[in-house]
Structure 1
Amino acid sequence: MSRTDPDSCPGVLRLHDAADGPLARIRVPGGQLTPEQMQTLAEAARELADGNIELTSRGNVQLRQVRDAAALEERLTAAGLLPSASHERVRNIIASPLAGRVGGWADVHPLVPALDAGLQADARLAELPGRVLFTLDDGRGDVSGLGGDIGVHAVDENSFALLLAGADSGIRVTADDAVELMLAAAHGFLELRDGQWRLHEIPDGVTQLTEHLHTSRPGLETSTSGVEVTGHHDIPIGWLTQADNRVALGAGVRLGSLPARTAEFIAAIEHPILITPWRSLVIADLDEWTAEQVVRVLAPMGLIFDANSPWLLASACAGAPGCAKSLTDVRADVAEAVESGRVVPSGAPQFAQEGLDAEEVVASGRQHWSGCDRRCGRPRGAVTDVIATPDGYRIDPAD
């Protein structure tokens, strides 16, 4: 598959002209935010955009209806959220949010700044398409199944499997050499691509890139014991006891839209913040008393600390008025469905239906609501699709 149209993935310096106004996408490698950076985003959302911070499925954030692009660029640069003009759109790095704190084989978070710095230091890698995704999995399997192009997956405390297009390449690497090998794979992708945006689009791309790495780096360790990569929907929610006996709080965000005022309260906690690829947050390194106060304050503001909340089952595309292709305001429809009890954890088997009014839609389990058949933002794995058509909603059950 060869692309003839240019990669139009938005950033801060190249906004997307959405139906409701300019949209800026801000890369947050590894989802790692300082309290000061969260405060900057909250102020920018309130003063320069529509008042909300959108969380994306790559652990990045977006601001809609940007009114002053120059002022936004200035603020983000000062906060360290725009460290490179040339490489801003290629800094797509997802890491296991709980790594080094709760479970997993290895703490992959130190690899994030190293990989980010390596990307920015190499002028050629600015040519990577903005859709290329790097994944760093601590071995629990939470991010390896999210469709990355180049990733590492811990198999023990100091050994990683190299994943290419989400599959185990058979190559093994130590933690010390993981970043260097991922950067080499990124160069190999650039040599192989012929307009393609993703590694899986290159015919026999994984085999070609694996052979390229063996040729360019003789002596690479290999293994015949493969890592099984599957998609998980295991959002870290609620009270999570860290290995050091401190507390991490996982907080769901309704449809991934975080109000600026709520973000300011999160920043005021003055603890590390992690944006997850499930459009949620982790607030880390809390003592028990502080964690209790955080839940007491932020739960009434809409953050979700209950792992059984139906809000965690539903996702949606931008919908109208944000997207000109959307046939309806799907976010309003899914919100009403959740609040009225029509998004249910489980029930009778879901059957295909069509021609439904919004208030007639009842769906169980994981579900994604879309304003058209493109199904933008659809999560991976078994998901029931609720799709707007000219004749009403259509339900396509999960496979």
Structure 2
Amino acid sequence: MSAARDRADRCPGVLRPWIADDGALVRLRLVGGRLPSRALARLVDVAERHGDGTVTLTRRANLQVRGLAAHDGRVPPAVVDDLESTGLLPSRTHELVRNVMVSPLSGRSGGLADLRPVAERYDALLRGDDALAELSARFLVVLDDGRGDLVDRTLDLGAVAVDAGHAQVRAGRHWGEVVPLDVLPDVLMALAHRFRRVRPGVGTWHVDDLPEHGAAVMGDLHARDLRTQVRALPLPEGVGRQDDGLAYEHVTVPDGVLRRPDVDALLARAGAELVVTPWRSVVLPDLPARPPETA
């Protein structure tokens, strides 16, 4: 068990900012890194109006805005309203606990299964459950689509796809059963509730903080399925082909910081959605395929 804590975590959100030397820092959580283009366009406007003008990508595939005004440890209501207008704050009560990472190319290129619907369904269930708003803002769900790009990530709950319709469940360091994808969101919800019930207090942020690294959360332990023992090479920069014949472009973001010219350049090439990756880069999916070059 980790060192005992006597306090809740301090990870920032919009309603609970981090107060830095240059002002308040807020974090907006993206489920699976999915970011509508119109939301990014609106967010950089908000960052320029109220903050230092930048949007930062995090290693959990979320976004941050900093340099905001703060009074008594909070940003002004007008700033909250402007941030909410981006569409990236769908729940004020559950904003801190919407921590869900997904293989960035899931459902588009490679992988064994499309885990985007699993992530969206889990998020919807989470936002509708008052009790789970009590989870730590560090509590993380990680969904690897079977390619192995997120399989080594430290997590609280998660799953790794083993074929197009099934995934093996995880809780901390422990592996559970292989379940159909259509029930996986409910299984994750049940495990989250079990963690909430067995944790001794708000200082227990993670499954691995519990005795025996949270074996009681998983309950019925299983051997790790051989199909989960995969690793993916880092996603190369540049254009790739999607399974549906369209293209995607993986764009590196120096230091993970986007400014107005960077955002304008991305949006000029993007379609309706971008995907923020856990490597502080951006994928532009669903692009028209380039015609083959002729000699």
Q: TM-score, normalised by structure 2?
A: 0.89
Residue aligning to 1:14: 16
- 8 Å Cα contact 2:271/2:286 also seen in 1: no
Asked whether the 8 Å contact 2:42–2:86 carries over to 1, the reply is: yes
Amino acid at match of 1:192: V
SS in 2 for 1:243: coil
Partner of residue 326, structure 1:
none
Q: Which residue in 2 is equivalent to 1:203?
A: 211
What does 1:237-386 align with in structure 2 at a 5 Å threshold? 237-268=237-268, 269-289=270-290
Amino acid at match of 2:26: A
Alignment correspondent of 1:133: 140
Amino acid at match of 1:185: L
| Structure 2 residue aligned with 1:178 | 184
1:55 to 57, 68, 71: 57
Q: Secondary structure at the match of 2:183?
A: helix
Partner of 2:36 in structure 1?
34
Structure-2 residue corresponding to 1:319:
none
Query: Residue type of the partner of 1:149?
Result: D
Determine the structure 2 residue equivalent to 1:169: 175
Letter paired with 2:147: R
Cα deviation per residue 1:245-289 (whole Å; 9 max; x = unaligned)? 111000010011111332133234333200000000000111135
For structure 1, the residue ranges without an aligned partner over 5 or more in a row are: 215-219, 291-399
Q: Which has the higher contact order (CA 8 A, sep 6+)?
A: 2
Aligned to 1:117, the other structure's residue is in SS state helix
Q: Deviations over 1:36-57 (max 9, x none)?
A: 1111111112221111111000
- Counterpart AA for 2:139: V
Instruction: Decide whether the 8 Å contact of 1:16 with 1:22 is kept in 2.
Output: yes
Given that residues 11 and 25 in structure 1 are in contact (C-alpha distance below 8 angstroms), is that contact kept between their aligned partners in structure 2?
yes
Corresponding residue for residue 65 of structure 1: 67
- 1:235 deviates by 3.3
CA–CA distance in structure 1, aligned partners of residues 231 and 82 of structure 2: 36
What is residue 311 of structure 1 aligned with on the other side? none
User: How far apart, CA to CA, are the structure 2 residues paired with 1:14 and 1:155?
Assistant: 38
How many pairs were matched up?
A: 281
How far, CA to CA, are the matches of 2:247 and 2:260 in structure 1?
Answer: 24
Amino acid at match of 1:264: D
Q: Distance in 1 between matches of 2:159 and 2:228?
A: 13
**Structure 1 runs of 4+ with >4 Å offset:** 226-233
After superposition, the Cα gap between the structure-2 partners of 1:231 and 1:24, relative to the gap in structure 1 and judged at 3 Å, is: farther
2:105 to 98, 107, 111: 98
Equivalents in 1 of 2:146, 2:61: separation in Å? 18
Q: CA deviation at 1:174?
A: 0.5
Q: Distance in 1 between matches of 2:120 and 2:190?
A: 17
For the 8 Å contact 2:29–2:62, the answer to whether it is kept is yes
Ranges in structure 2 where 5+ consecutive residues have no aligned partner: 70-74
**Does the 8 A contact of 2:96 with 2:137 survive in 1?**
yes
TM-score, normalised via structure 1 length: 0.66
Give the corresponding residue for 1:192: 198
Question: How far, CA to CA, are the matches of 2:90 and 2:204 in structure 1?
Answer: 26
CA drift at 1:233 = 6.3
- Counterpart of 2:129 in structure 1 is 122
Q: CA deviation at 1:207?
A: 1.5
- Taking the aligned partners of 2:102 and 2:236, their CA distance within structure 1 comes to 13
Change in CA separation of 1:111 and 1:289 when aligned onto 2, cut-off 3 Å: same
CA apart distance, 1:70? 2.5
Distance in 2 (CA, whole Å) between partners of 1:169 and 1:54 is: 33
Cα 1:11/1:224, change in 2 over 3 Å: closer
C-alpha contact 1:144 1:151 (8 A) present in aligned 2: no
Query: Retained in 1: the 8 A contact 2:13–2:27?
Result: yes
Q: CA RMSD in A?
A: 2.1
Q: CA deviation at 1:232?
A: 6.2
Sequence identity (%): 35
Q: 1:57 and 1:42 mapped to 2: Cα distance? A: 19
Give deviations 1:367-387, integer Å, cap 9, x for gaps.
xxxxxxxxxxxxxxxxxxxxx
**Larger CA Rg, structure 1 vs 2:** 1
- In 1, the alpha carbon distance for the partners of 2:27 and 2:229 equals 28
